[in-house]
Chain A
Amino acid sequence: MTILRALTIKEIRALFVSPIAYAVVAVFLVLNGYSFVMTLVMAKQATLVHIFFQSAMLLVLLVPLITMRQLAEERRGGTLELLMSSPAPEIDIVLAKFAAAMVLLAAMIGLTFSYAVVLGLFGKPDWGPVYSGYLGVLLLAGALVAIGLAISALTSNQIVAAVVSLGVFGFLWSIDSLAALLPAPIDNWFIGLSLMARFTPFALGAMYTSDAGFFVCVILLGLFLAVRALVRR
């Protein structure tokens, strides 16, 4: 635990001194805040559904900027050799980076809970969809971070890591649109792989174990692939 704790603290500090992290958080909050205010003023509905969908889209665009540097930079700068020649297990190295990215994203997403507080103070929101929406956003963030880490582990170039992550996220987000071209039951398989199809029930207030299980599986698969990419070759 000493090793995992040391690695996690180091990763969190590294993220929070990075100007990229602050830029990501600022863009996320400004766009979501603007959207929240405009919808509230124009539609006068005590709901955060549109915020959850917008947050999901922003995560698809912004998470690559968080994950791109995590292992690619260690590889490029040579510090991965320091980590790999220490007794730290690969799984700890990956888990620490995952945990640090999730701390940053959870803090960023958590700040948008002020919108729910405003709705609670001046209206009567249905709290069920609010909670399920936040759970969905966090699960989606976890899945994206895990995939992004696996991609970052494969290259020493941050830009390559970011672009490939963005491509994979975009493909997984909209893969359900392919289903229209495919015969049954293959179309269902593609719908089942779609991040948007899995996220939508959470945003609308309907939580299914299968959807939560899907995100957990993607997280575990991403972390496994990241560890495999690091394992001494």
Chain B
Amino acid sequence: MMVVSLEGLSKSYGSRLAVDDVSFDVGQREVMGLLGPNGSGKTTILRILTGCLSPSAGTVRVAGFDVVQEGRAARRRIGYVPEDAPLYPQMRVNEFLAFMGRLRGLDGKKLQQSVGLARERLGLNDVAETIVGRLSRGYRQRVCLAQALLHEPDLLVLDEPTNGLDPRQIIEFRDLVRGLADQCSIVVTSHILTEIARLADRVAILLGGRLLAVRPVKASTSVRVRVPMDIAPAIVSALRTATEAGAEIVEEPQTDGLACWRVRMAEPEGLSQLVARLGAAGIGVVELSETGTDLEETFLAVTSRKAVH
């Protein structure tokens, strides 16, 4: 059964259409990324999904419950981390988590256990009695994520979760979210392609409120290798030896008298390994440049075309 099902979803504010006939599904334990520039309708879709807004047309179901007709039942199955992680600054972390747990119907021992587990999972034990307003941005993001997990939701909704985090916090938060994908489905928005590429299994690309495409995300990166013509015959076998199994090697047109290949690797970190291995094999490379992820290429290709329904 699909955890999220959007069918013909539209939302208008007066005469302005913010979301236009969007349909997609999210399966169990799947991470779906909503990708698009600012104003593309990502946050509006999330607000409809979480019951904060009602749709103008179409239906949205979460765990089989219509978010309009059976709103409370649907919202019981959702954990939501809004953009900028809004919290009550005067509350202590424990107090805030207990309050949010009670809003989701938890009480007594079950509430204590859930709060303890969420604190443990997100590394909040050290700040349990700290006033929320004094926490760093990274900790506030964790507290907001913790409140969304208290009731073990079927669906976790994250709106621009890494906004404002420093690089270390982004990596930590990404690892946390990837870990959670084993327990629930996740819908995450971002306008940063690399973040979505590292988090999502599939991505829905939005532009101007319209769904342009839904594509699987392959965690890969492409590298362009340019070498002098005289060593060109040896390069293919050398590349196969130097790259990991499964790497895709495609010959590209010659430019400036140099032979050129594109090597697509599953691991983004493969570039540095390739350089080291080619060097060890004694191959002189003129140019070796990262050309971006599959998602970047997909995004550029899709957004250059008109939306299709």
Contact = CB atoms under 8 A, between A and B. Distances in A.
A82 B105 contact: no
Interface stretch (B23-31, B47-55, B256-264): B47-55
Interface in A64-94: 77-79, 81-89
Contacts of B71: 232
Interface residues of B, number: 29
Contacts of A3: 102-103, 105
B245 to A, nearest CB: 45
Contact of B75 (A14, A78, A86): A86
Contacts of A88: 103
B80 A82 contact: yes
A13 B76 CA distance: 26
Given A87-B75, A232-B52, A232-B53, A81 B80 contact: yes
Contacts of A84: 50-52
Contacts, number: 68
A78 B103 contact: no
Given A81-B47, A84-B52, A232-B51, A7 B103 contact: yes
A233 B87 CA distance: 23
A10 interface: yes
Interface in B89-106: 90-91, 99-100, 102-105
A87 B52 contact: no
Nearest to A78: B86
A75 to B, nearest CB: 10
A17 B131 CA distance: 13
Contacts of A10: 88, 91, 99
B103 A233 contact: no
A13 B90 CA distance: 9
Contacts of A89: 72
Interface residues of A, number: 23
B109 to A, nearest CB: 14
B76 A82 contact: no
B154 to A, nearest CB: 14
B185 interface: no
Interface string B25-60: 000000000000000000000010011111000000
Contacts of B86: 77-79, 81-82
Interface in A192-233: 232-233
B100 A82 contact: yes
Contacts of B53: 232-233
B161 interface: no
Contacts of A77: 86
Contacts of B90: 13-14, 17
B75 A233 contact: no
A85 B86 CA distance: 13
B102 A82 contact: no
A6 interface: yes
Interface string B169-198: 000000000000000000000000000000
Given A81-B80, A88-B103, A232-B52, 12 more contacts: A2-B102, A7-B103, A10-B99, A13-B90, A78-B83, A79-B86, A85-B50, A85-B82, A86-B104, A87-B75, A87-B105, A232-B71
- What 4 pairs between A and B have smallest CB-CB spacing? A78-B86, A6-B102, A85-B50, A85-B80
